Amino acid sequence: MLKLLKGLNKKVYLFIAISFILIFAQVWLELKMPDYMSEITVLVQTEGSKMADILKNGGFMMLCALGSLISAIIVGYFIANVAALFSLETRKKLFTKVENLAMHEVKQFSTSSLITRTTNDITQIEMFLAMGVQLLIKAPITAIWAITKILNKSWEWSMLTGIAVIILLTVIGIITAIVMPRFKIVQKLIDKVNGVTRENLTGIRVIRAFNAEKFQQDKFDDVNNKLTKQQLFNQKTFAIMMPIMYLVMYFLTLFIYLIGANLIDGALLADKISLFGDMVVFSSYAMQVIMSFLMLAMIFMMMPRASISAKRIREVLDEDITITDGQQEGLQIKQKGTVEFKNVSFMYPDAEEYLLEDISFKVEKGQTVAFIGSTGSGKSTLINLIPRFYDVTKGEIFVDGINIKDYKQTDLHNKIGYVPQKAVLFNGTVKENVGYGDNGKKISDKKIKEAIKIAQAEEFILKMDDKYDSHIAARGTNISGGQKQRLAIARAIAKDPEIYIFDDSFSALDYKTDATLRKELKKYTKEATTLIVAQRIGTIMHADQIIVLDNGKCVGIGTHKELLQNCEVYKQIALSQISEEELAK
Amino acid sequence: MKEEKHVKRPPRGPMAPLQKAKNFKSSILRLLKELKPYKFLITLSMILAIAGAALSIMAPNRLADLTDEISKGLIVNTKNLEKLTKDITSSLSNNDRLNAILDIQLNEKTSFTIMASSSITPEDKEEFNKFLNEIQTSKQEDFVKNLTNLPTSVLEVLLQDSIYQDVAITAQDKIAFLKVSQNIEAHKEIDIPINIEKVLFSEITLDKVQITSQDQAKFLELMSKVGEDQTQLYKQLDKAPKHIKQVIEPKMNMKAIKTIGIILIAMYLSSALFTYIEQISMTDVSNKFAKSLRTRISNKINRLPLKYFDRHSTGDILSRVTNDVDMIAMNMNQSLATLVSALTLFLGTIIMMFYTNWIMAITAILSSFLGFLFMSQVLGRSQKYFSARQEELGNLNGHIEEIYSGLNVVKAYNGSKEADRKFDEYNKKVYEANRKSQFLSGLMMPMMGFIGNLGYVAVCIVGAVLTMKNQISFGVIVAFITYVRLFTSPLSQIAQAMTAMQSTAAASERVFAFIDEEEMNNEKNIIKSLSRSKVKGNIEFKNVVFKYDGNDKPTIKNFSAVAHAGEKIAIVGPTGAGKTTMVNLLMKFYEIDSGDILIDGISTKELTRENVHDLFTMVLQDTWVFDGTVKENIIYNRQSISDEEVKEVCKTVGLDHFIKTLPKGYNSKIVDNDTISAGQKQLLTIARGMLEDTPFLILDEATSNVDTRTEELVQKAMDKLTEGRTSFIIAHRLSTIKNADLILVMKDGNIIETGSHEELMAKNGFYADLYNSQFEI
């Protein structure tokens, strides 16, 4: 966890240093208080003491209390700043890192895990810093200081306190050792209860169709019982802790007094009163010692959680950025709108088999190239290589005659209009979503409207309350899948790219809309090069070139007619969708 | 790396924004009503909580008694000390005895001897004369005193060796004694000659202890060294003879101390025991209650009509099962007993404080309230920062989620600059909110500490004043120190418990609202039933009208059609046309508004839902697999299916090969998103459906996630399956349903065309349009 604290704003260290000093002062003041307390005790006990003395000591004690409060407030301020600064800067670092990760690295971590790491894990550590750091500094200082203060008073009392601390720590230790691993089991069981309930809800039609309500209920009862049993065990075991803790603390005070009574009884008259004062003071110092040990125990319980979070954050931060910008200077763009694959192979790092093997083809300006193949054939991976979401393992890819690795990533991306398989929409207006990104040029409202029209989205956008300024919820949850896809396509059109990449982007559209959209698009993008991944033969049969992929290998390149003649895989795919007669048309 | 599944949990602790119930009172009353079965344990816990609290109030008083007993052992027995001093000094001033001891030879003879003596200086003689004159005028009592003033030379003549009470006393002793007696007044050291001691002090008996004359003399000697200083006194007293110490030393009543100690131990032990029993019974109650709530919610899911789920999201119901139930259980476990014991403590402490001493009570209460006033000011102001933090964090998390899940688009459109800008903006806001809220929530502890100290000092000072006025004993102060602590802690506990009650009310409101939802209508009085083997397979729709709740227009308007046994019926149309509604009605998931659906001439209204479900096999578009093995997923809730049958059906849908490549074959666990693709999942659900031997079959986009080549394979298997059965097929890809006996074309909730493929193509209507669009550019 300490590693994470490195490289933060200099202020953080300054704040921690100041806090350290202030906590020292605070502990000093807090431990000074029992001294005044004993003064007051002695004064009250002794006949003929002056009121002024009591007031004076009371006043000093109050000053100590006030001083400790003030320093606690200042420390609180600094520590809160440290925690907040930590999360500010670490979150930023993490966010920037994730933005620059290659897509396969993102997949490896999984998006949801990355989100948790950037949100929950950082909050977790922030909480630990806010509470733990203070305790971590304060507890040992208090413990050591209080111990030195009481050590020379009476060995009987010291021993008693020692025993109390040992009993407490043992009890806490044993209970935590028993319960902690079971807490994880409880967490898993809660997830299971959730899982079964989710199952019941998502599969409600299936469950009812199979008359499986009882079956599901039995399943639920089973995990529910297990959860309840485990919870009961945990909580009942844990319930021992508090009474024992209180018992130890009360008994400690009581026995300090009882031993004190014996000591006083046996002492010389002259020592009795001071011994009595010592007794009162000792019992309060002993409490301080116990409290600081309890605080330490608490930190050790909080620590593992925070350190797991820290480890997860480090994992991301330590990941190397594999995709870097090329040398932009001196790039002579010779061609426009061409894409060329030269013996491209790709495999995930650490994988054993190639996902794509030895793919070569060239697309000329204005051409439409389609990729087809069964699920897992690698067609999506192939076109995701062009915007450098992944880097090729072997071979080279050229855009406009220049190796894509030589481009600055932003320049490369500016040439491409990419529409992903799953439409991505952001929280914002329709306009903002369509005119998204920094493309080197401002996209005009006119352009946006035109793009929306071509993408067949105009109809439903105009039906929305605020038309082009209508709000789109995060991830586009307030519009349908087909609508999302059309807006995602409009986004690519508005950009006026040299090269379009459609990664199975028409799947949520019905055939009719799909056809119209492509017709309109073709009219509009005569100059642009188009790369399409598709499932439907209808979508691609008129492409200039169709590349058939099977298990990562290119098994056929050609037009629809050519492939029907010479590519068995293509023919099978085609026949599974349209009948022989229609193919012949 | 594994996908993390997590249900979002609302934040807890001081920083959580307060959730409020819409109707606090009725929610709490409802909760109490539901808790009736646990009456006994709850009552027991409450009684124990009160008893425990009462003990913690009583204990400080015993501790005060203990302190008082101990402090009795600090101060000397003043009464005895005074008596002793008086007795001893009175011995010194007993003139008759002094005269007898000294046996002063003041007569003509000695006077003459003095005046005539050549060894006596004239000055001394003058002194003697003065003395003679003085004793005539002064009182008898001053005789000895005047005597002491005489010069030694004169005294040597006046005082002769003599015998008093069988003790020989020399003249020297007498002179020494006279000199010493002068010192008594001057608080100088007293060293009385031993022989005189013996006769001067008579034995004193004090508290049945005999004090010898020597002891008295020793005491006198020690006391003579004591000045004004009190501590000097104690130091000298420590040197006093044993017997004297016995009577004046402070007495600690060890027996009483022991008794108090035992009482305290008993109190602490029973208090701990009470707390423990209270806690485990509340744990028992809350967990069992939570369990029953979860079971009821889960059961409820099965009894709710499907239309309920159209209006409520999965996440909403899930959060009731876990978060809300958890919230109720946790608060019941912790807050209920805490509230009761805190209230008892609070009231009890106030009563005890006033009972012990009202001035001190007012001091303690006033100082604590002052502190709390201050704290509530600070905390009241901080509430808005807590909710601000929650809100800003929500915004930031939302942004992060958005960017991470759309990272490919962000990259491809160079959106990271904009994403960074927004991120920085949110991050900065979170930072500001964090600083403030962390700071304020960190203030709680030190402020509580300060309030404790404030009360402590106030009690000490006022207590000291009262002690000095002898109105209270020191033990009262000790007791009040504890009272202040006992008094301040329940205040914050009560405040916390109250907020906990608020969120409990809110949670139970949601839970019970769900449990009270209207259920599907009762089917107890349905007597008709159709068995699978006897059904022929005819279905007739008769003027069916159906409207979804909340919709203005009916989704199905006056629909009539007949499906004969063994026919294949296809339902086609664009997304959202209401194709799935037909399935829902067939399956009796929803009740139709008017018209009828007849199976072999029997209205489905006259059949139980269970009976209808039993007649249908249904495979849906959204593939539903559960946490379990492949085999379990295929067999599901049916018991009579053998492994062979499972294998057979998997071969038919082309899954067998894939399953065999899994590490444990048919016994491999299906973990969501991991090992198995959407297409494979769909095949699995098809296999599950195929095992069902029913007269009717419904396929709702059952092959949409499978690529077209696999689909063809499955299609063949399904054609075999549909043989002899009446089947309803909803499909996206029109090629798959071309051979249907009847095609129903739906658009915007209406059935606009019906007929076979050929008929519909000939019509050249919507269907033909739809069909042809597949081949357009």
Q: What is the pLDDT of residue B262?
A: 92
Residue B348 forms part of a structural domain = yes
Q: Where are the alpha helices (DSSP H) in B653-765?
A: 656-661, 678-690, 708-722, 757-763
| Residue A225 in this model has a pLDDT that exceeds 90 | yes
Report d(CA B679, CA B684) in Å as an integer: 9
Same-domain status, B237 and B323: no
Residue B720 forms part of a structural domain = yes
Same-domain status, B406 and B493: yes
Map residue A10 onto helix, strand or coil: helix
Q: Where are the alpha helices (DSSP H) in A240-328?
A: 241-266, 269-318
Provide the residue count of chain B. 777
Report d(CA B526, CA B602) in Å as an integer: 13
Domain end marker among B210, B226, B248: B248
Same-domain status, B124 and B201: yes
Q: CA torsion sign, B324 to B329 to B335 to B340?
A: positive
Residue B324 forms part of a structural domain = yes
| Other Cβ atoms within 10 Å of A336 Cβ, number | 15
**Residues B143-160: b if buried by 16+ CB within 10 A, e if exposed:** bbbebeebbebbbbbbbe
Q: What residues in B contact A115, CB-CB < 8 Å?
A: 397, 400-401, 404-405
Map residue B115 onto helix, strand or coil: helix
Q: What chain A residue is nearest to B426 in terms of C-alpha separation?
A: A88
Residue B675 forms part of a structural domain = yes
Two tokens, residue B732: 């996206």
pTM of the model: 0.74
Least Cα distance to B245 among B214, B287, B215 occurs for B215
Q: What residues in B contact A384, CB-CB < 8 Å?
A: 408
Residue A408 vs residue A255, higher pLDDT:
A255
Residue B499 forms part of a structural domain = yes
Same-domain status, B706 and B636: yes
- Which candidate in B333, B658, B777 is best for mutational testing of the A interface (most A CBs within 10 A)? B777
Provide the residue count of chain A. 585
Q: Is B657 exposed, middle or buried (0-12, 13-18, 19+ CB in 10 A)?
A: exposed
| Residue B1 in this model has a pLDDT that exceeds 50 | no
pLDDT-based confidence at B270, cuts 50/70/90?
very high
Highest mean pLDDT among A24-38, A215-229, B687-701: A215-229
Same-domain status, B335 and B402: yes
The conformational region for residue B470 under phi > 0 = left, psi -120 to 50 = alpha, else beta, is: left
Domain end marker among B248, B265, B296: B248
Point out which residues pair with B209 in neighbouring strands: B206
Residue B317 forms part of a structural domain = yes
Q: What is the pLDDT of residue B6?
A: 42
Q: What residues in A contact B283, CB-CB < 8 Å?
A: 232, 235-236, 239
**pLDDT tens digits for A185-208?**
888 888 888 888 888 887 888 888
**pLDDT tens digits for B23-47?**
788 888 888 888 888 888 888 888 8
ipTM for the predicted complex: 0.82
Point out which residues pair with A369 in neighbouring strands: A531, A545
Report d(CA A458, CA A456) in Å as an integer: 6
Q: Residue B684: which residues within 8 A CB-CB, separation 6 or more?
A: B623, B625, B630, B633, B634, B655, B670, B676
**pLDDT tens digits for B529-572?**
777 777 888 888 888 888 877 667 777 777 788 888 888 888 88
Task: Measure CB to CB from residue A243 to each of B276, B617, B685 and give the nearest one.
Answer: B276
Please give the average per-residue pLDDT across B403-408, as a whole number: 81
Number of domains into which chain B is organized: 3
Same-domain status, B329 and B201: no
Same-domain status, B130 and B190: yes
Give me the phi and psi of B104, to 5 degrees please.
-75, 125
**pLDDT tens digits for A98-139?**
888 887 778 777 777 788 888 888 888 888 888 888 888 888
Same-domain status, B306 and B261: yes
Structural domains of chain A in order of their starting residue, each with its CATH number:
2-318 (1.20.1560.10), 334-365+391-407 (no CATH)
Same-domain status, B231 and B275: no
Kindly compute the dihedral angle of the four CA atoms of residues A11, A17, A23, A29, in this order, to the nearest 10 degrees: -110
**pLDDT tens digits for B49-88?**
888 888 888 887 788 788 878 877 777 777 777 777 777 7
Q: What is the pLDDT of residue A331?
A: 62
Give me the phi and psi of B723, to 5 degrees please.
-55, 130
Task: Report yes or no: B119 and B153 within 8 Å, Cβ to Cβ.
Answer: yes
Task: Report yes or no: A128 and A308 within 8 Å, Cβ to Cβ.
Answer: no
Q: What residues in B contact A578, CB-CB < 8 Å?
A: 735, 774-775
Q: What is the CATH number of the domain that holds B575?
A: 3.40.50.300
Please give the average per-residue pLDDT across B604-617, as a whole number: 84
Please give the average per-residue pLDDT across B731-752, as a whole number: 77
> Is there a contact between B234 and A270 if contact means CB atoms under 8 Å apart?
yes
Same-domain status, B226 and B321: no
Domain end marker among B465, B499, B515: B515
Same-domain status, B369 and B488: yes
Residue B530 forms part of a structural domain = no
Two tokens, residue B663: 């590490």
Map residue A399 onto helix, strand or coil: strand
Point out which residues pair with B596 in neighbouring strands: B542
Give me the phi and psi of A424, to 5 degrees please.
-110, 125
Task: Measure CB to CB from residue B438 to each of A83, A251, A279 and give the nearest one.
Answer: A83
**pLDDT tens digits for A345-377?**
888 776 677 778 888 888 888 888 888 877 667
Q: What is the pLDDT of residue A226?
A: 92
| Other Cβ atoms within 10 Å of B720 Cβ, number | 11
Report d(CA B743, CA B753) in Å as an integer: 8
The minimum CA-CA distance between A361 and chain B, rounded to whole Å, is 22
Please give the average per-residue pLDDT across A317-346, as a whole number: 76
Two tokens, residue A387: 């915007």
Map residue B730 onto helix, strand or coil: strand
Average pLDDT, chain A: 81
Which of A261-265, A399-403, B142-146, B756-760 has the least mean pLDDT? B142-146
Give the angle subtended at the CA of B255 by the CAs of B253 and B257, to the nearest 5°.
70
Residue A180 corresponds to which amino acid?
M
- Which candidate in A118, A442, A576 is best for mutational testing of the B interface (most B CBs within 10 A)? A576
Residue B732 vs residue B418, higher pLDDT:
B418
Q: What is the CATH number of the domain that holds B454?
A: 1.20.1560.10
> Is there a contact between B474 and A54 if contact means CB atoms under 8 Å apart?
no
Same-domain status, B463 and B599: no
Report d(CA A30, CA B150) in Å as an integer: 66
Domain with B108 in it: 78-248
Average pLDDT, chain B: 78
Q: What residues in A contact B732, CB-CB < 8 Å?
A: 510
CA A149, chain centre distance (Å):
47
Residue B486 forms part of a structural domain = yes
CA A376, chain centre distance (Å):
29
Percent of chain A with pLDDT over 90: 1
> Is there a contact between A511 and B770 if contact means CB atoms under 8 Å apart?
yes
Residue A321 corresponds to which amino acid?
I
Q: What chain B residue is nearest to A539 in terms of C-alpha separation?
A: B777
pLDDT-based confidence at B706, cuts 50/70/90?
low
Q: How do beta strands B726-730 and B696-700 pair? A: parallel
